[in-house]
Homo-oligomer: A and B are copies of this chain.
Amino acid sequence: MDQAFITMPKGFKANGVCADLKGNGALDVGLVVSDVPANIAGVYTSNLVKGHSLTRSIKVINKGGKVRAMIVNAKNANAGVGPVGEEDAQKVAEAVASELGVTADEVITASTGVIGIRLPYEKIVAKVPELVSGLSSSEEAGHKSELAMMTTDTQPKEVAATITLKNGTEVTIAAMAKGSGMIHPNLATMISEFTTDADIAPELLHKMLKEAVSHTFNRVTVDGDTSVCDMVVIMANGVSGAVIEEGTEDAALFQEAFTSLALDLSKMIASDGEGATKFVEIEVFGARDEYDAYLIVSSIAKSPLCKTAIYGMDANWGRIATAAGYSGAKFDPNNLSISLCGVQMCKDGVSLEFSEEEMAELLKAHDINVKVELKEGDAYDRMFTCDYSHDYITINGSYRS
């Protein structure tokens, strides 16, 4: 869907304003609000060190009540500043709650950016009236809330889908995300918000969210670094009138659409990884078990040597074999086969002849596929990443400034 935006489901409004956090006049505080109390589910970074806006939100979500709003700021992670960090996040939540006429426990907070500098919460609080008064369900307002949470992203990441339930009711799901560095799986990999106008009970919503992220957001890596602020949340407000119950055909339909949107966002995040010039899909077939399959795709996806070779458009399959070999997975190297962009480079551990000219041409493509085949079992996994370019170094050599 070309013109997707977060407020497409019924009963959601959004806005984005500039609170002068980025310092360049760009939008940097975004808000998404449900007209009525919405069920919420979230998954969070597995990093031991967690940002304070996030730890506050986890506490709020764990209380189990419904929520009305989620506010996100860019440029400052509100992390590593001690107990004052949660207090600052609470002040932001209170300002939003007061302006909306709800309680602070109905407001989720998220922050992304630099660690270790106190959140300039006064700047945000001062902009809350403008943020709330501009709330709208328009496409423009939806896009503004996405733009406001982008950091090094070069492209907005917004998706949506409408499904028709068995009884004919239409349900819409929309989502947006920000990348694009410090990204690695086994966590919710970045900040992403989903909205839906279906009514889904919190337990089912959480179950569906975990299923949706497991082979999507949890299979994206940009640099193997796991941020302290990452979360994926979904707000379900029921305004469509549709109630989705566990174990029904409707639930299966919803899950399919949900997972598919998560997959689309995941690919967008990988493709827009910091400094990326390529989107890379890595697949492993025939691994001994699921864990070994994961070890192999993740080892290749993280390998700086594989990622720089792809940047350099070099058919260096030996680095792929090397990364598989040190992944910790068990396999017989004499049964290892590797294909790059559909061309088999190595079969049963032995290199094959290939045309350097043909490979150079194929490797010019933006989308690169790496296939690894073993003969240990039938486990499969897949991961998405990008290449490592000179720009990755430039972007990350001076991120704080």
Contact = CB atoms under 8 A, between A and B. Distances in A.
A314 B116 contact: no
B49 A321 contact: yes
A346 B80 contact: yes
A24 to B, nearest CB: 19
B48 A311 contact: no
A82 B349 contact: yes
Interface string A309-329: 101101111110111111000
Interface stretch (A67-75, A129-137, A225-233): A225-233
A401 B330 CA distance: 32
A345 B116 CA distance: 9
Interface in A210-234: 223-228
A168 interface: no
Tell me whether chain A's interface is mostly helix, strand or loop, or mixed. loop
Nearest to A394: B390
Contacts of A314: 397-401
Given A116-B351, A390-B390, A318 B225 contact: no
Nearest to A82: B350
A309 B393 CA distance: 9
A304 B392 CA distance: 9
Nearest to A48: B325
User: Which of A81, A308, A350 has the most CB atoms of chain B within a 10 A radius of its CB?
Assistant: A308
B312 A396 contact: yes
A326 B226 contact: yes
B80 A318 contact: yes
A325 B187 CA distance: 13
A330 B319 CA distance: 32
Contacts of A181: 305
A114 interface: yes
B47 A326 contact: yes
Interface in A352-401: 388-390, 392-394, 396-401
Given A79-B321, A308-B392, 15 more contacts: A49-B324, A50-B325, A80-B318, A82-B349, A114-B316, A115-B318, A115-B319, A116-B345, A118-B351, A184-B326, A225-B326, A228-B318, A312-B397, A314-B401, A316-B399
Interface of A: 46-50, 77, 79-82, 114-118, 181-182, 184, 187, 223-228, 302-305, 308-309, 311-312, 314-319, 321-326, 330-331, 333, 336, 345-346, 348-351, 388-390, 392-394, 396-401
Q: Closest 6 CB pairs between A and B? A: A115-B318, A312-B397, A49-B325, A82-B350, A308-B396, A116-B351
17 contacts: A48-B330, A48-B331, A49-B321, A49-B322, A49-B336, A80-B321, A82-B351, A117-B351, A181-B305, A182-B322, A223-B304, A225-B304, A225-B326, A304-B392, A308-B392, A314-B397, A390-B393
